[in-house]
Amino acid sequence: MNIGEIARRSGVSRSTVSYALSGKRSVSEATRQRIQAVIDELGYRPNAAARALKEGRTRTLGLVVPPPRRRLTPAQLEFVAGVVEATDRADLDLLLSPSGDDHDRSFERIVGGRRVDGVILMEIRLDDTRVRRLQGLRLPFVTIGRTARPQGMSWVDVDYAALIGRCVDHLADLGHRHIALVNRSAELLASGHGPAHRAKEGFADAVTRRGVEGVEVGCADDVAAGEACVQGILSAHPEVTAIATINEAALPGVQRALESAGLDVPGRFSIAGVTARHRAEQFHPQLTAADVPAVDMGATAVDFLVERITEPDAPPRRHLFVPPISLRNSTGPVPAPR
């Protein structure tokens, strides 16, 4: 069921069939219809591999996701969803590559075998070997998050520093003088995870700027860690009355720890964060948070990537998302001391 078969059955040459399909040269209406009829009858679709070989492009995008073994955060999930949808809208296909920091088999298959026209890289490190590999191959790519020196590359990112700063501002405005940052894990921080680093910096800046006391603690990405982490804060720093966090996965644990400590939110304790809207609304009470626009980010990443593919010489595109903080019910004035 190849183009030759169609050509034979409609009594024309292969090239005519191709032109009828692509419209790149004129074909008389009569033969066009004849060809189309045969195609419809046989249900013919051009073979993607043959087309890719000849055209030198695959009409496929690659999405490099963190190995799903350790669960993705809600924002990452939404980001993937945004990429999937936007890729589909652009009439492109999407190849998934689960791969960690160092480029492994899957990454190499996709990228070395030129199975994709471009790549979206999630969970980037400040210094990332995969980025260098892609640059070496001159394969278009877009990162979600920035490396330490993002000049000359296309990326989308969330301004964690600014957002954590705003959380601190908001809490300080409410009178809180002792604020804890529940960051992501110390390991991630050590491995050069951008958001963890920038949250840390943004927190430190805001805390000095507002003249309040800040304590930063690392916390693994699961509810048990969140619970333990908050218990630690409450016992080691009983003066703390508010938490700011970027650790989405820990949130249910944070909630549980506050509950079992008998700390009413927002009556006796406040919490603000940066997370996917969905997660914020699932918190109890609903979480005052900067809602990371992950779906939009995914769509934007696809747009940028398509642009880099079609116009490799255009200047790189970048976008730093700074979503507003949505006031919900998890923050309130500092409680009167008793």
Residues of this chain that bind a second copy (CB under 8 A)? 43, 45-53, 58, 60, 65, 67-69, 71, 77, 80-81, 84-85, 88, 91, 93-98, 105-106, 108-110, 112-115, 136, 223, 252, 256, 278, 281-282, 284
Chain CA centroid to CA 94, Å: 15
For DNA, give the closer residue by CB, 51 or 256: 51
Q: What character string, x for contact with DNA (CB under 7 A) and - otherwise, covers 22-51?
A: x-xxxxxxxxx-----------xxxx--xx
For DNA, give the closer residue by CB, 50 or 224: 50
For a second copy, give the closer residue by CB, 96 or 334: 96
Burial 313-329 (b: 16+ CB within 10 A, else e): eeeebbbebebebeebe
Query: Three-state SS across 267-334?
Result: CCCEEEEEECHHHHHHCCCCCEEEECCHHHHHHHHHHHHHHHHHCCCCCCCEEEECCCEECCCCCCCC
Residue 21 interacts with DNA (CB under 7 A)? yes
The only residue of 37, 42, 55, 333 in contact with DNA, by rule CB under 7 A: 55
The amino acid sitting at 56 is G
Q: Shortest Cβ distance from residue 58 to DNA (Å)?
A: 12
Q: Determine the Cα–Cα distance for residues 160 and 248; give it in Å rounded to an integer.
A: 13
Residue 8 interacts with DNA (CB under 7 A)? no
Q: Shortest Cβ distance from residue 250 to a second copy (Å)?
A: 12
Residue 335 interacts with DNA (CB under 7 A)? no
The contact set with DNA (CB under 7 A) reads 2-4, 11-16, 18-19, 21-22, 24-32, 44-47, 50-51, 53-56
